[in-house]
């Protein structure tokens, strides 16, 4: 079952339950996926759908940060609830061990020994964690920390 089909089924269930927040979030997610399909002029593959969902989560996290700094706790909480709903459709995030192993393997593969090669290491580590919900910022921070320390 594709992401759009799954979301459509859950959308119908949310309508029956009269769950307004879930309903609006699922409509927004379905709309984003449909827009991406129109842009690509074909049905989306699962990895492409996953990227759209990860982008939506990232946007909401940035909004939470902005609203928190702006003193709008109510809006930050609403965005956080939306994140929780969208994350139901994302695969599990890698644990610390998996991220550490991916970073170490990427460093040894690329032969990186300075921050100049950080981009290559991040790309290699991300490819090792493909299919998992990877927080790009956390991954880059981990790579930066590892390359700065220079330890094995």
Please report, for residues 16, 94, 136, the alpha-carbon distance to residue 30 in angstroms, rounded to integers and kept in the order given.
Answer: 17, 25, 23
- Report the CATH fold assignment for 96-149: Arc Repressor Mutant, subunit A (1.10.10)
Which residue, 92, 95, 121, 118, is CA-closest to 108?
121
pLDDT in tens, 106-134: 888 888 888 888 888 888 888 888 777 77
Q: Alpha-carbon distance 73 to 77, whole Å?
A: 6
Domain ranges of the chain: 3-87, 96-149
Q: Alpha-carbon distance 10 to 141, whole Å?
A: 35
Confidence label for 14 from pLDDT (cuts 50, 70 and 90): very high
- Report the CATH fold assignment for 3-87: Hypothetical Protein Yqey; Chain: A; domain1 (1.10.1510)
Global pTM value: 0.74
């Amino acid at each position: 079952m594709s992401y759009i089909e799954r979301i459509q089924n859950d959308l119908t269930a949310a309508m029956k339950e009269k769950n307004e927040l879930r309903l609006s979030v699922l409509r927004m997610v379905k709309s984003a996926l449909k827009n991406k399909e129109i842009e690509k002029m074909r049905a989306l593959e699962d990895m492409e759908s996953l990227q759209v969902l990860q982008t939506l989560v990232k946007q909401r996290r940035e909004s939470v940060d902005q609203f928190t700094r702006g003193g709008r706790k109510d809006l930050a909480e609403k965005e956080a609830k939306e994140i929780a709903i969208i994350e139901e459709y994302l695969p599990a995030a890698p644990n610390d061990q998996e991220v550490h192993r991916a970073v170490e393997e990427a460093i040894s593969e690329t032969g990186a020994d300075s921050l100049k090669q950080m981009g290559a290491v991040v790309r290699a580590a991300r490819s090792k964690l493909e299919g998992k919900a990877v927080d790009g910022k956390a991954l880059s921070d981990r790579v930066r920390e590892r390359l700065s320390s220079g330890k094995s």
